[in-house]
Structure 1
């Protein structure tokens, strides 16, 4: 029986919950980066995406961050948004990721990681299906 998708108010980080690497990364994020829970972190499989202005294809293609004004960012830009909203120790890294020159390199690196995420540590054999 399919699970009902829940409504989530922004700000929210949407990730692929069927990806072990993605799940491990967001667990790290919640435990060490955003300990005050300044935004929700939810798997796309259990989240109503349409109210967030997202499609399933978009959410599967890259990590998505939707802010309180319903502006969505993807990939490295989403990581930058998350880090900038987190504690002081992480905020400079978020600003660095948004800097000209660094942003393009960060996006390329994000694409490589996203493309191979099912082969990275934290993944499971089911991720490759």
Structure 2
């Protein structure tokens, strides 16, 4: 594994793919970007279940998911994005970011660019 961070996203999800492409163009992603379906997840220290549940930022063996992955992406992008990334790491902003991320991730199939392939399987509980 190289020293470059890795951004893992759901390549089957139209909303996720559109979001990552937007971030590449507008924010600048300083990482290797790959859909989880084509990544060696075990070598990266994660699982298909987690990668299908949330976007992942993997850096130096540490795996950050969801809103914290977005925070790390923003920090790595540098100014003017990094202050927002640092803000998303501290309570109560961290809690709000987590709730907003889950709301969006759980409803991504309903959002622009979303398709039925974006929907997560229903929890059997």
Measured against aligned partners, the alpha-carbon deviations of 1:9-32 in whole angstroms (never above 9, x if no partner) come to 441010000110000000011111
Task: Identify which of 78, 101, 104 aligns with 2:92.
Answer: 101
Contact 1:33 1:87 in 2 (8 A): no
Query: After the TM superposition, which residues 1-129 of structure 1 pair with which residues of structure 2 at under 5 Å, given as runs?
Result: 9=2, 10-34=4-28, 37-67=29-59, 69-128=60-119
> What is the distance in 1 between the residues matched to 2:104 and 2:10?
13
1:3 corresponding residue in structure 2: none
**Which of 88-97 and 73-82 deviates more?**
88-97
Preserved CA contact (<8 Å) 1:11 1:40: yes
Number of positions where the alignment pairs a residue of Structure 1 with one of Structure 2 = 119
- Runs of 4+ off more than 4 Å: none
RMSD: 1.6
Distance in structure 2 (CA, Å) of the matches to 1:107 and 1:128: 19
Please report how far the alpha carbon of residue 92 of structure 1 lies from its aligned counterpart in structure 2 after TM superposition: 1.2
